Chains A and B, each alone.
Chain A
Amino acid sequence: MSRHYSEEDLILYYYEERPRSANIQQHLDSCGQCAAAYRDLVATLKLVATPEAPDRGDQYGLEVWQRIRHQLPEQEMPWWSAWFRADRLALAGAFTVLLLAAFVAGRWWSATNAPAPTVGSFAVLAPSPAAANDDSRQRILLTSVADHLDRSERVLTDFMNAPAGGDLSAEQRWAEDLVVTSRLYRQDAVQSGEASVALVLDDLERSLLEIVHTPSRATAARLDEIRRRIDAASLLFKVRVLGNELRQREDPQGSRPRTLATQTS
Chain B
Amino acid sequence: MDATEVAAVLARARLGDSEAFRTLVERHSRRAFQLAYRMTGNEQDAEDVVQESFIRAYRQLSRFEARAHFSTWLHRIVANCSVDLIRSRRARYDHTSTDDLGSMDQPEADVPNPERLAASAQIERKVAAAMSDLSPLERAAFTLRHYEGRSIAEIGRTLGLGTSATKHSVFRAVRKLRAALEPLRGES
Contacts and interface: CB of A to CB of B under 8 A. Distances in A.
Interface of A: 7-8, 11-12, 15, 17, 40-41, 43-45, 47-51, 53-54, 56, 60-65, 67-69, 71-78, 81, 190
Contacts, number: 115
Interface in B3-37: 14, 16, 18-19, 21-22, 25-30, 33-34, 37
A75 B33 CA distance: 23
Interface residues of B, number: 50
A64 B185 contact: no
B37 A41 contact: no
Nearest to B126: A47
Nearest to B175: A7
Contacts of B177: 44-45, 48
Contact of A64 (B25, B152, B171, B182): B25
Given A11-B174, A56-B29, A61-B29, A51 B167 contact: no
Contacts of A43: 185, 188
Q: Is the interface of B mostly helix, strand, loop or mixed?
A: helix
A61 B170 contact: no
A76 B178 CA distance: 44
B97 interface: no
Contacts of B37: 51, 53-54
B64 to A, nearest CB: 11
B71 interface: no
A78 B50 CA distance: 25
B20 to A, nearest CB: 10
Contact of A77 (B38, B62, B127): B62
Interface of B: 14, 16, 18-19, 21-22, 25-30, 33-34, 37-38, 41, 43, 46, 50-51, 54-55, 58-63, 123-124, 127-128, 145-147, 151-152, 167, 170-171, 174-175, 177-178, 181-182, 184-185, 188
Nearest to A78: B62
B59 A74 contact: yes
25 contacts: A7-B171, A11-B170, A17-B152, A44-B178, A45-B146, A47-B123, A48-B181, A50-B38, A50-B146, A50-B147, A51-B37, A54-B37, A54-B43, A60-B29, A61-B27, A63-B29, A68-B51, A68-B54, A71-B55, A72-B18, A72-B55, A72-B58, A75-B62, A76-B61, A81-B62
